[in-house]
Amino acid sequence: MSRQPMAVHLVSRPNGRPSADNFAFVADHLAPLAPGSALVENLYLSVDPYMREAMDEGHWELNTPLEGRSIGRVIESRTPELAVGDLVFHRNAWRTHAVVSAAEVRMLPRIEGVPISTHLSLLGGTGLSAYVGLTQVLRLQPGESIFISAAAGGVGTAAGQIAQLLGAGRIIGSAGSAAKVKHLTEQAGFHAAFNYHDGPVGELLSAAAPEGIDTFLDNVGGDHLEGALDVLRDHGRIAWCGAVAQYSSVEPPAAPRNLYNVVHKSLRLDGFLVREYQHLQQELTDFLVPHIQSGRIRADETVVIGFENIVTAFLGMLDGANTGKMIVQVGDTDS
């Protein structure tokens, strides 16, 4: 083993926005490998908005290593199903090393022209969330317009690019800064975007889509959902993926106050959890890999180097410090 294994524990629960004091770095004393297990050195770890909700009572346990999407390389094995050097996806995150069984992991292929980290972004849970929202929930049709909230995040940038591949007529996104708006329209293929700090979301969305919108992929909730309910055309469709507006809030959300528009406009609003669609992982990979290899789409990622920076990366992601998927690079990925 190349270094002392380390892990991050949740040591207290936040009231509102979390802080570094809620976490502790600890030495991870791994037991000798038992038959049927393998030791993985983690290469990339995902930090995601849902983790904020998992910090609350009833989710993550205190004083134990935390959960999350991870990519690692097998460095020792006592099972024929996992060989030294194999790349695997697993959920033993927030640690430098993990002991796994073959049943706990998904083998990752080395695909020419596709960086390993893509398995946590476009080809990972964020890409799958976008794909499921567009194809299974919204059933986006060629020529239809779509509004994507938190469009400069991991799910949002993936959704915008996949919507292009599906033939969307107009793709509109919201983001939290002028720089992110510019990124969406100049690099991520959005037809229009706005900074939600510039005014009421409904007014900004109406200006970007004066004829209304057909569909909405929501990662925010709150005022974004309220604004979209006003702008959606009759028989519009909403796929509700996340609610970052309220994960750290200590007060009940004030919006949406116009929920009756769902009835008035005969709208359809469906929430979904990506974990219920894992059977579509290979379908997503088959669909996206040729477009990644050709350069038609790209994995938008913000990669933070060093396990010691994982808490900083997580807190930064909650504050919008990332463009695209926030990923922490833990180990040497060249060998």
Q: Using CA atoms, how far apart are residues 262 and 113, in angstroms rounded to an integer?
A: 44
Distances (CA, A) of 36 to 69, 80, 295, 297: 22, 8, 40, 39
Give the pTM. Answer: 0.93
d(CA 228, CA 217): 10
Q: For position 335, what pLDDT does the model report?
A: 43
Per-residue pLDDT of the chain (335 residues; tens, 9 = 90+): 557 899 999 999 999 999 999 999 999 988 889 999 999 999 999 999 999 999 998 889 999 888 999 999 999 999 999 999 999 999 999 999 999 999 999 999 999 999 999 999 999 999 999 999 999 999 999 999 999 999 999 999 999 999 999 999 999 999 999 999 999 999 999 999 999 999 999 999 999 999 999 999 999 999 999 999 999 999 999 999 988 877 776 677 777 999 999 999 999 999 999 999 999 999 999 999 999 999 999 999 999 999 999 999 999 999 999 999 999 999 776 54
Give me the domains of the chain, ranges plus CATH numbers.
6-121+299-329 (3.90.180.10), 125-275 (3.40.50.720)
Report whether 69 contacts 93 (CB < 8 A). Answer: yes
β-pairing, 106-107 with 97-101? unpaired
